A and B are shown apart, each in its own frame.
Chain A
């Protein structure tokens, strides 16, 4: 074990220390601040890779793949624990990758747009690290608040009327959701007498029948709080506006914030309401399934109707989280594995899209977005026929060509078309859902699965249509060619994110193996529970008497 055990707390301590240190320097020394932040974020990335390797160690090396870290060495149900398993390691790595991309992008100019960007950035990472690693409901609340408080600051970064107005709504909605979170946590505590997730999973089957309604109410309220974050259909009205208003690097990092909600729902549903939960087995599954389906449909309509690219990206995020919620709601091992693959691929894609939007918008004249939708509606044939001759010889400028290729790749990823990882992700999801393993009798597939499969494919079509419309207007036949000034620092992170999606395509098998293992261990929560509560079920009474 040795010091590698203490690695578990490093993703929380490192950003905390860096963020606090950055506060000490004068705002004018932004080169120093950016340097420190960059080094720290790189270390965060290295840490999360190390943790991923730790969590994915072959079974022969470590008997328990889940590792827990008791803060202050207090035993689990009483003290606070951090828990690392494959899922949390994957989420950490995903956030670290997005953080690097968004930080590099911001170095071009965004980080100077307001004070304390780097500090808030580090605190957001700390909140993310804590939320993914904690094994305790109340600490989940604390880390949620840390990351939300940082995200409020980042959301307003750069200021301006538009941002402040959207930020006001964003903060109000999230504060209200946090209060729901607290109500849910305290109800769960009031019924079960514990806040530790593993302990909760042990105690749930023993809850008396008359208390079950109260517990279900508590869990449902808790769920609403996460669904607001994840953006399930009726609760997502704030999301596109807020993400569109945020500065590009911030929005790119925010792409992972909605996945925090999905992560918690995934973890709690499978841990607490798995097959061993007695009367509570499968609680909330239908809500997630149908809510997720509604979200996909809503998101797809939003994607089609979007006049601004920022809004398009926001609605794509809704489609992605709707897909994930529905997959969690199905609660099947193979589906969850496909969903995890989809989560990685779609988060990288949407993050790249948010970054690209800012660059693309420099190439557009104001109002071009509006035209992409309205011009087709009112027709522009007269104009188009006239200048057909002239446009033959128009050469695409270099910067625009690079942006165009990136845009095309993102469109393919969003739509889930073959050469890229978006296709593998959707294919994995659909295969698992329709269970084509044996190509046996497809008659026993319930209607809702067919509906979800249709929705997934149609939402891809919507994304493709919408991206093509925007792409043609921007790159192929712009009304007026404006060559955007684009720095290498700005294009590099986008290419990196898209490159990662390429790598995911090539290394699809490796990631699929990892997500399969993750889904399997999530579906047998016994390992998680026994590694957090070393004495669970064996000498519970004796252990407590010894305290």
Chain B
């Protein structure tokens, strides 16, 4: 599982980094989305990989923390997803504005000569 996750994060990051260096705004926004997926997965992995362990403690009795997954990274990911979506949506609006104002989807607002 570690290998699968590592490869997934690596592939997402690699594609994301490549895409945000492209000259078209659409590629940049897709690159940023891929990067934020990679980052979210990465935050998850920082709570250590556990299979079948619940993050929420049950009621009553003594609890053994070793039986549970770390809940903090999951809370962090939730926040990061919300913020990531909001900022990506905002970026999309600016991208459309730029496309409308400059008539070009190049990141510099004009085609290279």
Contacts and interface: CB of A to CB of B under 8 A. Distances in A.
A23 interface: no
Contact of A179 (B39, B73, B86, B95): B39
25 contacts: A138-B79, A152-B87, A152-B90, A152-B94, A159-B97, A159-B101, A160-B101, A161-B109, A164-B94, A164-B97, A164-B98, A165-B102, A165-B108, A168-B98, A169-B107, A171-B87, A172-B32, A179-B32, A179-B35, A182-B43, A182-B80, A183-B42, A187-B46, A189-B46, A189-B73
Nearest to B88: A175
Contacts of B73: 186, 189
Given A168-B95, A171-B94, A176-B32, A189 B72 contact: yes
Contacts of A167: 94
Contacts of B72: 189, 195
B52 to A, nearest CB: 21
B69 interface: no
Interface in A497-521: none
Contacts of A152: 87, 90, 94
B39 A182 contact: yes
Interface in A143-162: 145, 148-149, 152-153, 156, 159-161
A293 B43 CA distance: 34
B101 to A, nearest CB: 5
Interface in B47-99: 47-48, 72-73, 76, 79-80, 83, 86-88, 90-91, 94-95, 97-98
A141 B87 CA distance: 13
A190 interface: yes
Contacts of B107: 168-169, 172
A102 to B, nearest CB: 22
Contacts of B80: 141, 182
Contacts of A190: 45-48
B32 A175 contact: yes
Contacts of A169: 107
A149 B102 contact: no
A148 B107 CA distance: 20
How many B residues are at the interface, by size bracket?
A: 20 to 34
A371 interface: no
B35 A149 contact: no
A interface secondary structure, majority: helix
Nearest to B75: A138
Contact of A168 (B25, B39, B79): B25
Report, nearest first, the 10 A-B pairs whose CB atoms are least far apart: A190-B46, A165-B109, A186-B43, A186-B46, A161-B101, A145-B83, A164-B98, A182-B39, A179-B39, A168-B98
A165 B95 CA distance: 9
Given A142-B83, A175-B32, 13 more contacts: A156-B94, A156-B97, A164-B97, A165-B102, A168-B107, A171-B91, A175-B88, A176-B32, A179-B36, A186-B39, A189-B76, A190-B48, A195-B72
A25 B111 CA distance: 41
A145 B95 CA distance: 19
B9 to A, nearest CB: 10
B91 A164 contact: no
A178 interface: yes
B95 to A, nearest CB: 7
B99 to A, nearest CB: 9
Interface size class of A (residues with CB under 8 A): 20 to 34
A155 B106 CA distance: 20
A143 B42 CA distance: 21
Contacts of A153: 90
Contacts of A145: 83, 86-87
Nearest to A195: B72
Contacts of B43: 182, 186
A103 to B, nearest CB: 23
Contacts of A156: 94, 97
B102 A161 contact: yes
Contacts of B36: 179
Interface string B17-32: 0001000010010001
Interface string A173-200: 0011011001101110110000100000
Given A152-B90, A168-B94, A176 B46 contact: no
A161 B110 CA distance: 11
A155 to B, nearest CB: 9
Contacts of A168: 25, 94-95, 98, 107, 109
B79 A142 contact: yes
A186 B76 contact: yes
Given A182-B43, A182-B80, A186-B42, A149 B87 contact: yes
B23 to A, nearest CB: 12
A190 B86 CA distance: 26
Contacts of A189: 46, 72-73, 76
Contacts of B91: 171-172, 175
A179 B76 CA distance: 13
Nearest to A194: B72
A172 B35 CA distance: 12
Nearest to A138: B76
B112 to A, nearest CB: 14
Contacts of A176: 20, 32, 35
A159 B97 CA distance: 9
Nearest to A181: B39
A164 B109 CA distance: 9
A269 B98 CA distance: 39
Nearest to B96: A164
A471 B39 CA distance: 49
A171 B96 CA distance: 14
B98 A165 contact: yes
